[in-house]
Structure 1
Amino acid sequence: MTDITNENARARPVYGTAAVVQKSLARRNRKQVMLQALGLAAISFALLMLGILLFSIVATGYHAFTQTHVEIEVYVDPEKVSEDDPRSGAFRDVLSDSMGQYFPDVDMSDVAAAREVSSILSNGAQFTLRDIVVEDPSLIGETISLKVPVSDPYDQLAKGLVGRDTPEENRRVNDAAIERFDRLDELGIVSTPLNTALVTEADSRFPELAGLKGALVGSFWALLTCFLISFPLGIGAAIYLEEFAPKNRVSDFIEVNINNLAAVPSVVFGLLALAVFINWFGLPRSAPFVGGLTLALMTLPTIIIATRAALKAVPPSIREAALGVGASKHQVVFQHVLPLAMPGILTGTIIGLAQALGETAPLLLIGMNAFITSAPASPFDSATALPTQIFIWADSPERGFVSRTSAAIIVLLTFLITMNALAIYLRNRFERKW
């Protein structure tokens, strides 16, 4: 009897609203499946593009984290380096004579042949030798072991970036140069250690000598200036607007403009800094201090918005309880509300600083893309920053700067990821659940 009843129920036609819902149910299910499929496809495509980007950067940049060196025996000839004034010695000739001992079949009296042999060493080798001898003049007349980088073409050759099978006219090094380099490699004096100079040396016109020290120090001074200015000003402005300012047209106007400033292109802040800080106030061009002021203008709206959101997230019961026991308005804000909102404030501040670290356009406009061969000793010395250093190297025609550009991007991404990870940690570690 029960089975017959169920069959009648299934066969019974459905009328009214239930019929409309039943007819549209399959269509809605299809749309839901399509929407989910489109969402997964969008996420997959984004991850694919991100993977391709990271792979291309790493595949190009990892070569710059090693540097080919050659260790040679150098006789510091007293006839070419004087003990009275060792700094003015002919160190290039000393290195040329020392390289000649590894190629007895080459006539080193031939200027062209000697230049080709000497070109294996980096142009900075003579200055490295000079500094060693100036520091210890007793080395004059002695034979010392000197380990120096090779020039960029030979570094590219050692890393396999110069194809040996490529026709000679299309290579940066000819067959004779490859044969000479292979001879040094067979002697066991060629090595490819970790390129510490990438972070310990400043910029150079020679790729094998170029490093990020100047850019790292310049970014540090700029971010420090940005933090010291934007953090207290941003928190102070947010506390006043959220807790003390009367709600009228003036405060509404200020709030709207703060939100608009957060969306203003960064190049506008660069033009403002160029006109005000450099042209009006006469501050030094290319200085990290000016760069920090510019980045502070950009970061202020972000910090103010984040701070106001953190203050709003504190439950009103905290304020009411503090006022109920006799606390003043200032005590409520600074002793109760602000400490509870501080995790959100710090998160917003770190994210704002991470955004400022990656900005390029405003720093270019204030001149922080100059060729600086030393790290700044103070925020008022000329310097570059990590984004502008990447811009400089990317614009260089030298092949060796291609890998260094990608390596600098990896370093910048490492700092950005670290700062964002710190912000997430602080949010999860100190966030209060109400």
Structure 2
Amino acid sequence: MNKSTQIVEAGLQKRYAKEKRFRLYGLISILISLAFLVILLADIIGKGYPAFQQTYVKLDVTIDGEVLGLTAESPEDKLYSASYSKVIRNALREKFPGVTDRKQKRALSNLVSKSAAYELRDMVVENPNLIGTSGSYWFLAKDDVDVFMKGNIDRNLPESDRRIKDYQLEWIDTLVAENRLEKRFNTVLFTEADSREPEQAGIRGALMGSLYTMLITMCLAFPIGVAAATYLEEFAPQNNKWVDLIEININNLAAVPSIVFGLLGLAVYINFFGVPRSTPLVGGLVLTLMTLPTIIIASRAAIKAVPPSMREAALGLGASKVQTVFQHVLPMAMPGILTGTIIGMAQALGETAPLLMIGMIAFVSDIPQSIIDPSTVMPVQIYLWSDSPERAFTERTSAAIIVLLAFLITMNLVAIMLRKRFEKRW
């Protein structure tokens, strides 16, 4: 073996060794990324899973007409305005007759959520014949009781270091022994809007707000973005200064901080055009501005990737320019266009900063019924709950993140299925 061959083989061995190290580094990077992802998801699921259960308390309630000042023939407005909270308090005091101290009476009332009075009211309004009867009913427990039942309050801590006092622990133990406390699936989380009371707070309002906002964003950003990309790539004159200026501005807008779009929406849509503040309509308009550059850039890249032979074949068979673009080029580019749309919509779904500028951070306790009703969105709801001091809001924050991720995965899955359908067709 001559010297030159030895030099070549030594160089090959070094190159192969570098390639192996490079593959090893890549594998290690992937494993580290997956490890961090697993840790993150495990932490979110571990904290959010308890929020999908809620503690309920069973009370023996006497719907006393004298206490309420009602009869079965009372008009509906009086049925609504009666003080049902007195009936709930009486039921608790009958259960624990030894409680006489004013402070302990207040603490006893806090075993049950304030929503119990509204639930009882709705039952009486629906069936006034309940007045004067007695029965056992399940009501939402207060958030501190719920947190304790889920094991997040250590009863062995000194009384001064926990939110539940010793006498409250005795009451809870009595209720548990009599099977009057149980955990159920938390339907409130999915059926109610936001609330100041943790046990009554739900995500339905924010979920509907996100859905309306994303629908508006999709309906505006997708057709406008694809139309703009098609024009710039297929019909715009070449070497034109105005076209070049538009392309530069589109590329620059893709890198603009999202809060700038919020300021633009506040100045233009709300202050100039008078679009209602804190609504999915203005939120969708703002997110459309933010999403358009991403969709346009991705769509242009997908259109440019279509083989020139496809255009030439269509034109050679007598198709017009418009027919070639809309019947041949765009269908072939649709998988790439949908990929860019997925990226843009996923970015819009997780945005918070631009929506804060247009008032969607406001506390909204009603579920929006249309695009012009006041609303918030899931990322903003998560932000609001994460800033709340109550321990029960911590688990609801993680639960809302889980739902947001599921919403995002579902949206991406639908887009991927559409993309696969176009790929199979062509």
TM-score interval for Structure 1 and Structure 2 normalised by the shorter chain: over 0.9
Contact 2:334 2:419 (8 Å CA) reproduced: no
Other-structure match for 1:218: 209
- Residue 51 (1) aligns with residue 38 (2): yes
Other-structure match for 2:136: 145
Contact 1:286 1:383 (8 Å CA) reproduced: yes
Q: Provide the C-alpha distance between the structure 2 equivalents of 1:26 and 1:331, rounded to a whole number of angstroms.
A: 56
Other-structure match for 2:3: 15
Contact 1:344 1:431 (8 Å CA) reproduced: no
Other-structure match for 2:249: 257
Match of 2:56 among 60, 64, 69: 69
- Residue range with higher mean Cα deviation, 397-406 or 300-309: 300-309
Give the aligned CA root-mean-square deviation in angstroms.
1.8
Q: Using a 3 Å threshold, how does the CA distance of structure 1 residues 398 and 253 change in structure 2: closer, same or farther?
A: same
Q: Provide the C-alpha distance between the structure 1 equivalents of 2:162 and 2:41, rounded to a whole number of angstroms.
A: 29
Q: Provide the C-alpha distance between the structure 2 equivalents of 1:160 and 1:352, rounded to a whole number of angstroms.
A: 41
Letter in 2 for 1:389: Q
Other-structure match for 2:91: 98
Other-structure match for 2:106: 115
Other-structure match for 2:196: 205
Counting only pairs closer than 5 Å after superposition, residues 83-94 of structure 1 correspond to structure 2 as 83=70, 84=74, 85-94=78-87
Other-structure match for 2:400: 408
Kindly state the Cα deviation for residue 394 of structure 1 after the two structures are TM-superposed.
Answer: 0.5
Q: Deviations over 1:323-359 (max 9, x none)?
A: 2222221122222222333333233223321221111
Q: Provide the C-alpha distance between the structure 1 equivalents of 2:327 and 2:353, rounded to a whole number of angstroms.
A: 40
Q: Using a 3 Å threshold, how does the CA distance of structure 1 residues 33 and 325 change in structure 2: closer, same or farther?
A: closer
Contact 2:368 2:374 (8 Å CA) reproduced: yes
- Residue range with higher mean Cα deviation, 375-384 or 330-339: 330-339
- Residue range with higher mean Cα deviation, 251-260 or 406-415: 251-260
Other-structure match for 2:347: 355
Which is greater in Rg? 1
- Could you tell me which runs of 5 or more consecutive residues in structure 1 were left unpaired when the two chains were aligned: 1-11
- Match of 1:191, SS? strand
Q: Using a 3 Å threshold, how does the CA distance of structure 1 residues 339 and 32 change in structure 2: closer, same or farther?
A: closer
Q: Using a 3 Å threshold, how does the CA distance of structure 1 residues 22 and 334 change in structure 2: closer, same or farther?
A: closer
Other-structure match for 1:31: 18
- Residue 364 (1) aligns with residue 364 (2): no
Q: Using a 3 Å threshold, how does the CA distance of structure 1 residues 201 and 305 change in structure 2: closer, same or farther?
A: same
Count of residue pairs the alignment pairs up = 419
Q: Provide the C-alpha distance between the structure 1 equivalents of 2:334 and 2:20, rounded to a whole number of angstroms.
A: 42
Q: Provide the C-alpha distance between the structure 1 equivalents of 2:121 and 2:263, rounded to a whole number of angstroms.
A: 44
Q: Provide the C-alpha distance between the structure 1 equivalents of 2:366 and 2:15, rounded to a whole number of angstroms.
A: 65
- Residue 241 (1) aligns with residue 228 (2): no
- Match of 2:137, SS? strand
- Match of 2:61, SS? strand
- TM-score w.r.t. length of structure 2: 0.93
Q: Deviations over 1:268-316 (max 9, x none)?
A: 2112112211222222221111100010001111221222222223322
- Residue range with higher mean Cα deviation, 240-249 or 382-391: 240-249
Contact 1:287 1:383 (8 Å CA) reproduced: yes
Other-structure match for 2:169: 178
- Residue range with higher mean Cα deviation, 295-304 or 84-93: 84-93
Kindly state the Cα deviation for residue 432 of structure 1 after the two structures are TM-superposed.
Answer: 5.7
Structure 1 runs of 4+ off > 6 angstroms? Answer: none
Q: Using a 3 Å threshold, how does the CA distance of structure 1 residues 36 and 320 change in structure 2: closer, same or farther?
A: closer
Other-structure match for 1:9: none
- Could you tell me which runs of 5 or more consecutive residues in structure 2 were left unpaired when the two chains were aligned: none
- Match of 2:3, SS? coil
Contact 2:205 2:375 (8 Å CA) reproduced: yes
Q: Deviations over 1:157-187 (max 9, x none)?
A: 1100111212221111012111101111111
- Residue 431 (1) aligns with residue 423 (2): yes
Q: Provide the C-alpha distance between the structure 1 equivalents of 2:68 and 2:111, rounded to a whole number of angstroms.
A: 22
Kindly state the Cα deviation for residue 140 of structure 1 after the two structures are TM-superposed.
Answer: 1.3
Q: Deviations over 1:4-39 (max 9, x none)?
A: xxxxxxxx5x223x3432333343333333322222
Q: Provide the C-alpha distance between the structure 2 equivalents of 1:168 and 1:280, rounded to a whole number of angstroms.
A: 57
- Residue 194 (1) aligns with residue 182 (2): no
Kindly state the Cα deviation for residue 433 of structure 1 after the two structures are TM-superposed.
Answer: 9.7
Q: Provide the C-alpha distance between the structure 1 equivalents of 2:171 and 2:17, rounded to a whole number of angstroms.
A: 70
Q: Provide the C-alpha distance between the structure 1 equivalents of 2:325 and 2:133, rounded to a whole number of angstroms.
A: 73
Counting only pairs closer than 5 Å after superposition, residues 259-274 of structure 1 correspond to structure 2 as 259-274=251-266
- Residue 156 (1) aligns with residue 156 (2): no
Q: Provide the C-alpha distance between the structure 2 equivalents of 1:196 and 1:433, rounded to a whole number of angstroms.
A: 42
Q: Deviations over 1:112-162 (max 9, x none)?
A: 332222110012111221222223222211123322110011001110011
- TM-score w.r.t. length of structure 1: 0.92
Q: Among all aligned residue pairs of Structure 1 and Structure 2, give the percentage whose two residues are the same amino acid.
A: 54
Q: Provide the C-alpha distance between the structure 1 equivalents of 2:69 and 2:123, rounded to a whole number of angstroms.
A: 14
Q: Provide the C-alpha distance between the structure 1 equivalents of 2:43 and 2:130, rounded to a whole number of angstroms.
A: 47
Other-structure match for 1:389: 381
Contact 1:351 1:419 (8 Å CA) reproduced: no
Q: Using a 3 Å threshold, how does the CA distance of structure 1 residues 35 and 340 change in structure 2: closer, same or farther?
A: closer
- Match of 2:67, SS? coil
- Residue range with higher mean Cα deviation, 39-48 or 384-393: 39-48
- Match of 1:71, SS? strand
